[in-house]
Amino acid sequence: MLNIFTLAHGRLVQEEIESLEELSRFHPIWVDLESPTVEEKRWIKQYYGLSIPEDAMDEDIEESARFYEEDNGELHIRSDFLIADEDEPRTVRVAFILNQHNQDLKSRGVLFSIHDEDVPVFRLLRLRARRAPGLLEDAKEVLLKLFDADAEYSADTLENIYDQLELAGKKVLSEDVTDSLAGEVLAAIARQEDLNGRIRRNVMDTRRAVSFMMRSRMLNAEQFEEARQILRDIESLDNHTAFLFDKINFLMDATVGFININQNKIIKIFSVASVALLPPTLIASIYGMNFQFMPELNMGWGYPMALGLMLASALVPMWYFRRRGWLK
């Protein structure tokens, strides 16, 4: 899908492109390619003189090779953007290409973004840019605002993680924690831990991308200060993810502790039963010995006496354990 965005009265406007000839009608600041077809890539190459690398969205690219500047003045940035899907949280690799210096190419001053699926941060920025005139001025501003929106999206997701952990904490600290409830809580905590880890990796990636933009000297003074503010926001997000990891570890330990308590209760019941049945077993073993002279064997009350003795020897330990509160 080929999306072209232009500025009209300070607002971001999306234009529909259905052929190569229609590209000449517009002067965009942002060209977004979502799962681009071979034909769309050909249009971009023919009109803008831009060749999209085959490995633009490759996940196996080394970290050091994701940020670089070509000899023709093209700036290449590959960054990951978070998708906080409830069922399958993930990150999407986005390749940015920006030509700031080469005036011989029509791609000068146009930001190109290439990705495989829709990114929530992109939708968020487009919505803001349509409603807020003057939010975007040029292609560099678009790229900077995307990273700013990405940091804000991560912050919103962290708040949601905190809310989910609060709900899990209330369940764990309730009076009766069953094994099934503890299992549900552990699964919920594990999901939030995975999402929190993805956010931490995402903000680290955003920090590297913004730092690269600052080092490349492509930003003016106002944009440079905005980039510094983004880095400060990311630093606070990094601290918050560390706090959430501590909270997750506490809830994990508490939940596992309640599971161990429930298991100990079961083991305690078996232990009490074993101790209570030990005296009757001893009595039965004594009268089961094959000695010739055992007076009680020839007496009429010997059998009832043995049964009564075994019953009493079982009830006395049970009464003692109950009095001490060990059967609760």
Of the candidates 267, 261, 263, the one whose C-alpha atom is nearest the C-alpha of residue 175 is: 261
User: How many other C-beta atoms can be found within 10 angstroms of the C-beta atom of residue 144?
Assistant: 22
Taking only the tens place, the pLDDT of each residue in 62-78 is: 666 677 777 777 788 88
The DSSP 8-state label assigned to residue 112 in this structure reads E
Contact 83, 92 (CB under 8 A): yes
pLDDT reading at 183 higher than 90: no
Taking only the tens place, the pLDDT of each residue in 227-254 is: 999 999 999 999 999 999 999 998 888 8
% of residues, the chain, pLDDT over 90: 15
pLDDT reading at 102 higher than 70: no
Domains in the chain, start-ordered, CATH in brackets? 2-260 (no CATH), 262-323 (1.20.58.340)
pTM metric for this prediction: 0.78
Give the confidence band of 156 by pLDDT, cuts at 50, 70, 90. Answer: very high
- Please provide the distance, in angstroms rounded to a whole number, between the alpha carbons at the two ends of the chain: 66
H/E stretch holding 4: strand 2-8
Can you give the pLDDT at residue 327?
Answer: 66
Contacts of range 248-257, beta carbons closer than 8 Å, 24 or more positions apart: 248/165, 248/189, 248/192, 248/193, 248/196, 251/165, 251/168, 251/169, 251/172, 251/185, 251/189, 252/186, 252/189, 254/172, 254/173, 255/172, 255/177, 255/182, 255/185, 255/186, 255/189, 256/186
Mean pLDDT of 284-302: 74
